Amino acid sequence: MEFDAVVVGGGLVGAALARALRGAQLALIAQERPAAPGAGFDTRVYAISPGNARFLESLQVWQRMPAARVTPVHAMRVHGDDGRSVLEFDAYRAGVSELAWIVEDGWLQDALWQELAVQDRLQLFAPAACERLEVGGEAARLALRDGRTLAARLVIGADGAHSAMREQAGIKASERAYGQVAVVANFACQRRHDNVALQWFQGGPVLALLPLPGDHVSMVWSTTEAHAARLLALAPPALALEVAQASQQALGELAVVTPARGFALRRLIAARMVAPRLALVGDAAHVVHPLAGQGANLGFQDARELAQVLAARGPYRDPGDLRLLRRYERARAEAILAMRGAVHGLYWLFDVRSAPLAWLRNAGLNLTNRLSVMKNVLMRQAMN
């Protein structure tokens, strides 16, 4: 079986890229097909930037999600770790109608896969896993675990943080554990959230409450491994009480509506995003701390850029040509560097273990000072 391109990995980024490459002779290899979304709220939710909402709209995906399950964020309130400082980001002042949209994983995956199911010239291999990559002069060869083999002029590694495609292409990645676990759960809240996303920096841990439809919020509490283990072991009423207290009762009393889950947090950056006949997208190329909700957003931007570079190449040019792929890598370098710097910088500034923080504190810098540089970078990048 021969293809122009094969996308390995059917997560959010791989699925969106497969959709963005419509028209090409394409294969998507996915380990599983997403389950149909249930009536309850999904534990995994994403803040999606306005730029990526437009991208997903151009793929006919955004409009497939039920409008009642897509929540606009009109403002964001960030609380510092000194108990006093508050910084606000406001859509109105930024001259936009919303800062982001909160969507549930299940509904977004479902919308993507509904479009993929009717896409011409796309062959879906799901469930299937790619086991081996061999790159030759004219094509790359992929061996699936079930024994089938595929040939493609371009392989796209969208296979997540533990990317086998990255490893088999010999691309090094530097990786570090944050020593934190993100505990996620959804709550019904006593007070209205008014479409405001709330965040508390707690000298290392970061607690965020993101608005969901009705009087509901989604929590992401990135905290120490020991604290996370304790939170995950709590009965729902005790967890709700602890989160209500940590959020200073900003939304009144809380009640758990979706049980808690934990995700160990790491950061990762691949030394290259491309190799002969291979391009990496999404978490396969870069993983960032979820405190700014930017991981999937960076991945969708990769997908947009790679699709644009391939579309602009002209009918006779080989999509696996390394010079062409380097154009994609160069186009992404600055935005990835800026976002990684801003996200990691924020984490580091508020981490009690970092010595420079003590110096900054002693110098009397408050939250607004500490955030002002980051704020500009984040605002500019996060809207894309």
Ligand X SMILES: Cc1cc2nc3c(=O)[nH]c(=O)nc-3n(C[C@H](O)[C@H](O)[C@H](O)COP(=O)(O)OP(=O)(O)OC[C@H]3O[C@@H](n4cnc5c(N)ncnc54)[C@H](O)[C@@H]3O)c2cc1C
Regarding 301 and contact with ligand X (CB under 6 A), the answer is no
Distances, alpha carbon 348 to alpha carbons 25, 342, 356, 371, in Å: 45, 10, 9, 12
Between 110 and 149, how does the x/- string for binding to ligand X read (CB under 6 A)?
-------------------xx-------------------
CB of 150 to ligand X, least distance (A): 12
Regarding 158 and contact with ligand X (CB under 6 A), the answer is yes
Q: Are strands 45-48 and 100-104 parallel, antiparallel or unpaired?
A: antiparallel
Residue selected from 5, 13, 27, 280 as contacting ligand X according to rule CB under 6 A: 13
What is the C-alpha separation between 118 and 260, in angstroms, rounded? 35
Regarding 164 and contact with ligand X (CB under 6 A), the answer is yes
Reading phi first (left if > 0) and then psi (alpha if -120 to 50, else beta), residue 345 is in: alpha
Peptide bond into 127 cis (omega under 30): yes
Residue bearing tokens 């002693």: 362
Regarding 263 and contact with ligand X (CB under 6 A), the answer is yes
Regarding 251 and contact with ligand X (CB under 6 A), the answer is no
Residue selected from 61, 173, 184, 310 as contacting ligand X according to rule CB under 6 A: 184
Between 75 and 104, how does the x/- string for binding to ligand X read (CB under 6 A)?
------------------------------
Q: Per CB under 6 A, which region of 9-17, 314-322, 335-343, 344-352 contacts ligand X?
A: 9-17
The answer to whether 336 and 259 are in contact (CB under 8 A) is no
One-letter amino acid at 50 equals P
CB of 247 to ligand X, least distance (A): 17
**Residue with smaller CB distance to ligand X, 186 or 357:** 186
Q: Are strands 286-287 and 254-270 parallel, antiparallel or unpaired?
A: antiparallel
Regarding 150 and contact with ligand X (CB under 6 A), the answer is no
Nearest-CA neighbor of 90 among 82, 81, 99? 99
The answer to whether 135 and 13 are in contact (CB under 8 A) is no
**Residue with smaller CB distance to ligand X, 47 or 346:** 47
Q: Per CB under 6 A, which region of 72-80, 107-115, 147-155, 289-297 contacts ligand X?
A: 289-297
Between 213 and 232, how does the x/- string for binding to ligand X read (CB under 6 A)?
-------x------------
**Residue with smaller CB distance to ligand X, 199 or 357:** 199
What is the C-alpha separation between 340 and 298, in angstroms, rounded? 10
Regarding 12 and contact with ligand X (CB under 6 A), the answer is yes
CB of 22 to ligand X, least distance (A): 18
What is the C-alpha separation between 198 and 79, in angstroms, rounded? 8
Q: Does residue 83 sit in helix, strand or coil?
A: coil
CB atoms within 10 A of CB 381: 23
**Residue with smaller CB distance to ligand X, 14 or 319:** 14
**Beta sheet of 71-73, edge-to-edge order:** 45-48, 100-104, 71-73
The number of angstroms, rounded, from the C-alpha of 317 to the middle of its chain's C-alpha atoms is 31
Residue selected from 4, 110, 115, 159 as contacting ligand X according to rule CB under 6 A: 159
Q: Which residues sit at the interface with ligand X, rule CB under 6 A? A: 8-14, 29-31, 46-47, 129-130, 158-160, 164, 182, 184, 220, 263, 282-283, 290, 293-297, 299
